Structure 1
């Protein structure tokens, strides 16, 4: 519950951590579980919150989140592009400070800068996979590009 404007950032960080923990623990999570995690209220909140109002708010959040997760939705598109840009920045910028800076800039656009460490971890794996793939298939890639007349 928000008791003052100053603790909104703390609440957002806690909700993001709870959601991240949930997604790390379970492979198949439904939208209602995501909403429960984001709200993150203790079991005994009846003395603080009107449970009917809370249920209605959860329903609205589930509905809104369901619509936002569909391909073609403006929110989905914006977040997807930002995450794509962040991963691309990390892979092309490297795992050092320059890559990290690119990741943070891309994620800040959608308020997801807290995911920087996770994106950097993914980028490290992608860089290793790309390096191995190039060393194994590099000659084939070069020949394919020559056949397509993209390089001489």
Structure 2
């Protein structure tokens, strides 16, 4: 009986001590969280910016030595600088295509045809906003057009971040510019998002082409593609998913009622693998359209202009349903661009002056 009593007492004592230790850990976490919250105004303000600049200076030296102390950053910005004119040309081509696709009455600042038919009042046409290249943009009333300074450091950095995010190989310590090493994890996340969007867009394109060839009507096709987008997002959320799993899903989506072709799965898998191979016509078409969409949002913002240009790019591959995913993936790059330009602006300016 004494042994049982001693055992019960020891058990209760251990349980009590465990509870006390757990509460101490919770208290420590609360204290740490409170300290972090108290430092938040400083970190987010000018003091945080100054701290990051001083820390970077300690690691890599004064910004006047940027070209010598930051070889990876120099190489990165130089490679981006060499593509700026081509990027500008592609962007302006997309912008011109968007403007040409708008109704002429809207472009001229006139009310819509519906308004005229219903007796709407005809006011004076307002002057339309223009881009930095002089193209009139049919934006919404009262909305300011984002003017892109193609020679600015910010534009160069944004294009550079897009270049890194679209690389098929994961960024690492050896390949990442010194100014972005703290963002390696974030860049890898955007890379994953970009690759996932490519897979989804390519898969939707294959489903569209297959069902169209089978004579599926447009109304039914839209419903299938909407469902396909949801299922693809679900299956790709599993880190162990393989291309064969995706091929199986595509074969099911493309199988009409009464079809029992077992070889369809292998066929769709082979087509998908080929379409996701670098250099393939489908891959080039999809990746080019997605890059155009990313660039539009990164440079023009998430307002009417950026969203419209991105949507136009996605329509080329029948992937307008992915606009929200594109916007979400671009958010991280936008934040990185703003922060690194504020923190490392002097170093970037020094490097740019030598190019």
C-alpha distance in structure 1 between counterparts of 2:341 and 2:216, whole Å: 54
Cα deviation for residue 94 of structure 1 reads 0.2
Count residues in correspondence.
Answer: 140
Query: In 2, are the aligned partners of 1:90 and 1:99 still within 8 Å (CA)?
Result: yes
C-alpha distance in structure 2 between counterparts of 1:21 and 1:38, whole Å: 13
C-alpha distance in structure 1 between counterparts of 2:342 and 2:283, whole Å: 36
Question: Partner of 2:220: helix, strand, or coil?
Answer: helix
Query: In 2, are the aligned partners of 1:95 and 1:123 still within 8 Å (CA)?
Result: no
Higher gyration radius (CA): 2
Describe the superposition over 1:27-75 as per-residue Cα deviations: whole angstroms up to 9, x where unpaired: 342111112333457xxxxxx6454x1x211111111111111101011
Question: Partner of 1:80: helix, strand, or coil?
Answer: helix
C-alpha distance in structure 2 between counterparts of 1:3 and 1:142, whole Å: 57
What corresponds to 2:307 in structure 1?
100
Picking from 231, 244, 247, the partner of 1:18 is 231
Query: In 1, are the aligned partners of 2:251 and 2:264 still within 8 Å (CA)?
Result: no
Query: In 2, are the aligned partners of 1:15 and 1:39 still within 8 Å (CA)?
Result: no
What corresponds to 2:248 in structure 1?
36
Q: Which runs of 4+ in 1 moved over 4 A?
A: 1-4
Query: In 1, are the aligned partners of 2:247 and 2:265 still within 8 Å (CA)?
Result: yes
Describe the superposition over 1:74-112 as per-residue Cα deviations: whole angstroms up to 9, x where unpaired: 110110000100000011110112111111001110011
Unaligned 5+ runs, structure 1: 42-47
C-alpha distance in structure 2 between counterparts of 1:132 and 1:119, whole Å: 21
Map 1:13-92 onto structure 2 (within 5 A).
13-23=226-236, 25-40=237-252, 49-51=258-260, 53=261, 55-92=262-299
Unaligned 5+ runs, structure 2: 1-210
Cα RMSD of the aligned pairs, angstroms, is 2.3
Query: In 2, are the aligned partners of 1:31 and 1:62 still within 8 Å (CA)?
Result: yes
Query: Structure 1's 141 and 4: CA in aligned 2 closer, same or farther, altered over 3 A?
Result: closer
Q: 2:349 aligned with 1:136, yes or no?
A: no
C-alpha distance in structure 2 between counterparts of 1:65 and 1:10, whole Å: 21
- Normalised by the length of structure 1, the TM-score is 0.82
What corresponds to 2:97 in structure 1?
none
- Higher RCO (C-alpha 8 Å, min separation 6): 2
